[in-house]
């Protein structure tokens, strides 16, 4: 890198904020180009601060840059749930850190209500550039019934993009805008380093994602996954993990009749992990009742 290139290089932290289920984690994965964060049609998938790094080489027209996207738990209105309080606090803590740009994500198929206003309220006072992303542009027109209302919000933002995170359409203009809005600075994550999460956490998240996908509704949010051990043998990787839940009845549901459900979860998780690691995997899954798992999140 020459001195002048170094000077104009941009870098910084870009936080993704919005209600639960609007597609923040999907967008993070698409922006980075690798699946880092687990996603789900169920609310409250994301529970931790997850970083995804995007490196953009410089061109004749634009300086290069590095954006570190920070995925946050979705804002969710369900006061009775102790998990919700914990997750809301996590978003607040993330927003108190040094961040350079906010991407506020909305879903045009969902109406603007108290939850949306509370969510916007968390970022509106921030004195940094803000981008509005109206996601899920792939949905049919009649499902995006609240689009005009969200479009009218654009005036409160420095830029607004309509895109589809899941189809990766119209993503490049957003990437360029992010780099444009970042301050000049040096590379923060080293080459090849794409995230802050470790392998154990990432594996646990894949397993949790599969639990959400196997159960439509009956399984509670009250569930966590912990990977206890990973043994990387020459021909197979042995992963031991525990699914933790609050109550005995949920344990029964997760295991399923004759162990059918847990087998299905294991099969789906194994398939994805094998593909990502490119190695045969043996996955040992247990279900345990642990009423205190929320406290450890
Ligand atoms: N049609 C459509 N669906 C999408 C798009 N992006 C995300 N989704 C879906 O929306 C659901 C929620 O996606 P997530 O990325 O997990 O949403 P999130 O905002 O991270 O949710 P939390 O982590 O719970 O806050 C999933 O079923 C995604 O497949 C999109 O561009 N179009
Ligand atoms: Mg998420």
Q: What is the pLDDT of residues 61-92, one digit of tens each?
A: 778 999 999 999 999 887 677 888 899 999 99
278 CA to middle of ligand 2, Å?
A: 25
% of the chain at pLDDT higher than 70: 96
Whole-model pTM above 0.85?
yes
DSSP assignment of 45-83 equals ---S-EEEEEEE---SSS--EEEEEEE-PPB---TT-HH
pLDDT confidence bin for 203, thresholds 50/70/90? very high
49 CA to middle of ligand 2, Å?
A: 10
State the ligand closest to the CA atom of 103: 1
Q: Would you state the pLDDT for residue 2?
A: 63
239 CA to middle of ligand 2, Å?
A: 24
% of the chain at pLDDT higher than 90: 83
Task: Ligand 1, residue 135: give the atom nearest the CA.
Answer: 31
28 CA to middle of ligand 2, Å?
A: 9
Residue-averaged pLDDT of the chain: 93
Q: Given 3.40.50.620, 3.40.50.300, 3.40.50.1360, 3.20.20.140, which CATH number is that of 3-181?
A: 3.40.50.300
State the ligand closest to the CA atom of 143: 1
pLDDT tens per residue across span 97-107: 999 999 999 99
Ligand 1, CB cutoff 6 Å, lining residues: 18, 20-26, 39-41, 43-46, 73-74, 135-136, 138-139, 164-166
List where CATH 3.30.300.20 sits in the chain: 199-296
List where CATH 3.40.50.300 sits in the chain: 3-181
Closest C-alpha to ligand 1, atom 11: 41
Q: Given 3.40.30.10, 3.30.160.60, 3.40.1390.30, 3.30.300.20, which CATH number is that of 199-296?
A: 3.30.300.20
Residue 275 pLDDT greater than 70, yes or no: yes
Q: Would you state the pLDDT for residue 1?
A: 61
State the ligand closest to the CA atom of 23: 1
C-alpha angle with apex 206: 133 to 274, nearest 5 degrees? 120
For residue 86, what are the CA distances in angstroms to 45, 172, 202, 296?
A: 13, 34, 20, 10
Residue 6 pLDDT greater than 60, yes or no: no
């Amino acid at each position: 890198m020459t001195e002048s290139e170094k000077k104009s290089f941009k870098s910084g932290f870009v936080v993704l904020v919005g209600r639960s289920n609007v597609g923040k984690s999907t967008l993070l994965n698409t922006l980075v180009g690798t699946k880092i964060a687990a996603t789900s049609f169920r609310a409250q998938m994301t529970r931790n601060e997850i970083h995804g790094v995007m490196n953009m080489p410089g061109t004749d027209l634009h300086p290069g840059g590095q954006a570190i996207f920070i995925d946050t738990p979705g804002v969710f209105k369900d006061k009775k749930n102790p998990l919700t309080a914990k997750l809301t606090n996590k978003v607040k803590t993330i927003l108190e850190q040094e961040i350079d740009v906010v991407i506020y994500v909305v879903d045009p198929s969902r109406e603007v209500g108290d939850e949306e206003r509370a969510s916007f309220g968390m970022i509106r006072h921030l004195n940094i550039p803000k981008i509005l992303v109206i996601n899920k542009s792939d949905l049919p027109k009649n499902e995006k019934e609240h689009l005009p209302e969200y479009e009218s919000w654009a005036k409160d933002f420095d830029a607004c993009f309509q895109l589809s995170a899941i189809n990766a359409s119209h993503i490049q203009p957003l990437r360029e805008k992010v780099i444009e809005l970042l301050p000049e600075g040096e590379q923060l994550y080293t080459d090849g380093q794409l995230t802050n999460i470790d392998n154990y956490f990432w594996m646990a998240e894949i397993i949790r994602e599969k639990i959400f996908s196997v159960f439509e509704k009956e399984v509670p949010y009250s569930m966590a996954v912990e990977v206890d051990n990973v043994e990387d043998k020459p021909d197979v990787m042995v992963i031991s993990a525990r699914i933790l839940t609050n109550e005995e009845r949920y344990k029964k549901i997760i295991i399923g009749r004759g162990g059918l459900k847990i087998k299905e979860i294991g099969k789906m998780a194994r398939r994805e992990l094998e593909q990502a690691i490119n190695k045969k995997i043996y996955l040992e899954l247990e279900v345990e009742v642990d009423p205190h798992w929320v406290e450890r999140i």
